[in-house]
Chains A and B, each alone.
Chain A
Amino acid sequence: MTTLTLNRLSQGECATIMALDASAELDQRLVALGLRVGKSVRLLRRARFGGPLHVRVGTTELMLRAREAICIQLLREAPSS
């Protein structure tokens, strides 16, 4: 098991949210969008040229910049290849 932040996830990969490490305000927004501790999040794709990440958590899909994704600590279940 390895820990990593959301921006390090590779395309198509899934991991469990361990902690949210943002300002209180951003934390609240992330929780409201479904990024809660214990939930599984999948990286669907990244936009070109350092653009936002497209992720799915539960039934919600959302986009966020790497700057925000770095605040989300994940736990990867399977060892990465």
Chain B
Amino acid sequence: MTYITKPRLHHPTLTRNKVGYTRRDYEGKVSTLCAGCGHDSISAAIVQAAWELDIQPHRVAKLSGIGCSSKTPDYFLGASHGFNTVHGRMPSVLTGANLANRELLYLGVSGDGDSASIGIGQFAHAMRRGVRMVYIVENNGVYGLTKGQFSATADRGSKSKKGVVNTESPVDLIGLALQLGATYVARGFSGDKGQLVPLIKGAIAHGGAAFIDVISPCVAFNNHAGSTRSYDHVREHNEAVSRIDFIDLAQELKAEPAPGDVIEVPNADGSMMRLRKLHEGYDPTDRRAAMNLVQQMAAEGEIATGLLYVDPDAVDLHAALNTVPRPLNGLSEAELCPGPEVLARLNAGLR
């Protein structure tokens, strides 16, 4: 593989955000994925969300597992530290990184093989542990790097490029996340950036474990007729149940009074999220209702997208552990080592 560096020249008229960065500053290396891959659209959405939220790129740690999706952290946020870990184990590494320094934004990128097969255990436990993170699964129902085997999220009855029909039930990551206590659960579609960017922004602002399942068609192995993860199929069957109009505090003052079908959800970072209901009777803060709706729509062959569930009062693992507000990796020796006098007392107690 060749190593391509993007030119560092910036157009002088590129707009800068509040922290002085242009959108280009959030980009990474040139993608080596196939032309038209849904994953590249997700990378672009991450770039846009981070730029719009005025996040300093070096304050982000991006982690991934193994697979096509897990390669993408190299293609965005080039000024952030990244970690391409082992297959299916991104959640644990991210958990450790988060424990070491709670001040950074943790972005976990994974795929359906990485999170629904080999890594389903780690996915589940990161959700129930409430690690503050944005967990994005780039879900295409197929193993791309190993050339087209079904993944565990492939629908039963879906056809592979070679014509094989999948006979196994799909793992529903959304259902699992809801059931396991994730406090922000959303589904997006790589072909709908207008919906995806606010979903990512909402996840970034969230105070706990935020999970976004992004349907991301694989142009090389899973974009044919008979596949339920093709662009055509997803465009036809995706039904948004909500729309986020993300607003920060400064803009909130100018915002118009909320009409009846809009819910305002405060975020952990002090900003406010405005959520527009698109589905009758839908309440995104009711976990059980969200589970029912997603199940019901799936039974009808529809793919529910949008913000499906959010707990505005979510807290994270650090709150549960009552850790100090400062990052653990920055504590001094004096704060960590009890010293010789304490040791003398401990010795005395062991005689």
Do A and B actually bind?
no
B residues neighboring A (CB under 8 Å) = none
Binding site for B on A (CB under 8 A): none
